[in-house]
Chain A
Amino acid sequence: MQNRTRNIYLIPYALWIVLFVVAPILLILYYSFFDIDGHFGLVNYEKFFTPVYFKMALSSFWYAFLITAICLVISYPTAYLLTKTKHKQLWLLLIILPTWINLLLKAYAFLGIFGTYGFANAVLGLFGIGPKQILFTDFSFLFVSVYIFIPFMILPIFNALEELNPSLTDASRDLGASPWTTFRRVIFPLTIDGVKSGCQAVFIPALSLFMLTRLIAGNRVITLGTAIEEHFLVTQDWGMGSTVAVFLILIMALIMIVTGIRR
């Protein structure tokens, strides 16, 4: 009896998962077996293993890695500092605040800031550095991406640090460990789960970024996300688009598994 009522509670969740997670993935898988003329086969998969798509996958991977790494390097100290400040919640709110603004609006704002006659170049001009091209470079792409993703990295690390029992660090210090050793042997290992979920929350969406690649990088950075968008909207080659999506899902699953393993 008790078991049955428990199963009833499961229904909304199961429905959600089947309708919005399993079914779409199966549909993508199904579409990926049809070539542009609607013939069933593995043509799309053969095409994926040509240099063009291989290079694209590699560059997506590389940029996603860079974005995640930069986010982590900035976020960990920030989160650490946050836990030490007086008005934690206020500072945290200020970090989350930008995520309330639409991504497209922020991207457009950066078009203005990074332009030849924009704010960034005006500041550079004060220091006597002539106008530089900032927009449509790797730098601007990485900068804006990191700016967009950073709250998703700070939050889990902040939570992990908050949960850390302070007596452990005190004990470590009492037993004669230097601050660096305390950090390396106590704090970091105990917050590694926060770092992992932060990395997942950044790396996975970064892998399929597509709008920024056009707006901020001027299509000089091409990721798998760009290819999917193009195949669905322009060439109408839904099969190839789905195939790229299948590989993205596989890569993401792989990352979840690798970062999910507990020691």
Chain B
Amino acid sequence: MKQLVRLFIGVFAAAFVLLFLAARLNTSEGYSGKNTLTIYNWGDYIDPALIKKFEKETGIKVIYQTFDSNEAMLTKIAQGGTTFDVAVPSDYMISKMKQEHLLIPLDHDKLPNLKYINPRFLDLSFDKGNKYSVPYFWGTVGIVYNPKMLGGKKITSWNDLWDKDLRNQILLVDGAREVMGMALNSLHYSLNDTNEKHLLQAKRKLDALTPNVKAIIGDEIKMLLADEEAAVGVVWSGDAAEIISENPKLDYVVPKEGSNLWFDNMVIPKTAKNIEGAYKFMNFMLDPKNAAQNAEYVGYSTPNEAAMKYLPKDIRNDQRFYPDLDKVQNLEVYENLGKRMLARYNELFLEFKMHHK
């Protein structure tokens, strides 16, 4: 008994000392109420050196937190209890957050660097006039493949994935809209299709793909493809860039039937505490030099026109990641299909996962 009491007292004492030390450290480094900025972003989606630079330039301390899906981010912001000052949702999620009144309208006078953004990435359907959001990155969904493992075969279309030679060679990203969109596209339907007949047809087509599918996974897909665990993967363009930088044997293609074109934009959610700091950060990230540095580090495509000249030539001219959007056809942006349709997509996706080989 005595020992137990001693143990408890010891643990309490240690906890208090640690708490005290942490508080002291925070104040000595300038983490106090007004002087912090909480950023809520996708994992591995910013050059850490830029955060340091921002802290040095403005004296604001950055608290950086990450999420792994738009939906998880929405749940956290909608539930409250958080103080995120800047978040980076994707297109359809921005229109959903707008609908649910979770965003603060932007004052463009405080974002002078917005002028550097390519006008093609402004005033898009999910946020007319960029009232709530400014562009961060953009990209596509496509196929990354290993020509060596496929005996030199080239992949150019979604329908190539149904080839019998690819048995057990495909890794899919664990996203209902990505996988259902792929099946819809392969049937030449829109990836925003809501026609039940078309959806069922897409589901049946996916079932036929089952023998070729090795696994349906999350972020581990990057590591597994770079390690040549499988020859083919369906991924977002930036993930592909990262995989290729690790294993240059791989190649990326946006299938010819069409695919998803997406945009991740910075927003200020209703939960923000440091709105001035949020503007400063957004403006900082829109600066061409910073945007170029970020794009080079992360591997996704920057919407910043002025940043292009700071990017190395081989990145800037890479048609796989900076396709000429006037020439590429069939790229579609996800629409916010509503809760009910999203549930239907997920249900069909779940049924596909349960389909046995």
Chain A residues with a Cβ under 8 A of chain B: 36-37, 52, 55-56, 59, 108, 111, 115-117, 133, 135-136, 214-215, 217-220, 222, 227, 230, 232-237, 240
- Please indicate the chain B residues that have their CB under 8 angstroms from the CB of A108 in the complex: 220
- Whether A116 lies near B229 (C-beta < 8 A) is yes
Can you name the residue of chain B whose Cβ is closest to the Cβ of A47?
Answer: B347
Does B3 lie at the interface of the complex (its beta carbon under 8 Å from any beta carbon of A)? no
B residues apposed to A, CB below 8 Å: 69, 71-72, 74-75, 168, 171, 174, 176, 214-218, 220, 223-224, 227-229, 339-340, 342-343, 346-347, 350-351, 353-354
Nearest A residue to B223 by beta-carbon distance? A111
A10 CB → nearest B CB, Å: 21
Q: Is the CB of A219 within 8 A of B214?
A: no
Whether B227 and A115, one on each chain, are in contact in the complex, defined by CB atoms closer than 8 angstroms, is yes
Q: Are B216 and A236 in contact, with the CB atoms below 8 A?
A: no
From residue A24, how far is it (CB to closest CB) to chain B in Å? 16
Please, how many angstroms separate the alpha-carbon atoms of A170 and B135 in the complex?
79
Q: Return A143 CB to nearest CB of chain B, in Å.
A: 16
Chain A residues with CB below 8 A from B353, complex form:
219-220, 222
Q: Which residues of B contact A227 (CB under 8 A)?
A: 350
The 3 A-B residue pairs with the shortest CB-CB distance, nearest first, are: A218-B215, A219-B216, A136-B215
One of B176, B223, B227 near A234 (C-beta < 8 A): B176
Partner of A133, one of B168, B223, B351: B168
Residues of A within 8 A of B339 (CB): 36-37, 235-237
Rounded to whole Å, the gap between the CB of B159 and the closest CB of chain A is 23
Bound: A17/B214 CA distance, A: 44
Complex contacts, A218 vs chain B, CB 8 Å: 171, 214-217
**Residue numbers in A under 8 Å from B168 (CB-CB):** 133
Closest to B344 in A: A235
| B220 neighbours in A (Cβ, 8 Å) | 108, 111, 215
- The CA of A232 and the CA of B71, in the complex, are separated in Å by 9
Docked pose: A214 CA to B219 CA in angstroms: 11
Q: Which residues of A contact B343 (CB under 8 A)?
A: 36, 235, 237, 240
Task: Say how far B74's CB is from chain A's closest CB, in angstroms.
Answer: 8
Task: Give chain A nearest CB distance to B145 CB in angstroms.
Answer: 16
- Name the B residues within 8 Å of A236 (CB-CB): 71, 74-75, 339, 342
Q: How far is the CB of A52 from chain B (nearest CB, A)?
A: 6
* Closest residue of B by beta carbon distance from A219: B216
CB distance from B350 to the nearest CB of A (A): 7
Task: For the complex formed, measure the closest distance between the CB of A180 and the CB atoms of chain B, giving whole angstroms.
Answer: 41
Q: State how many angstroms separate the Cβ of B354 from the closest Cβ of chain A.
A: 5
Q: A115-B227, A214-B218 are in contact. List 18 more A-B contacts (CB 8 A).
A: A36-B340, A108-B220, A111-B224, A116-B227, A116-B228, A133-B214, A214-B216, A217-B215, A218-B217, A219-B174, A219-B217, A220-B215, A233-B72, A233-B75, A235-B343, A236-B74, A236-B342, A237-B339
CA separation between A218 and B346, bound complex, in Å?
17
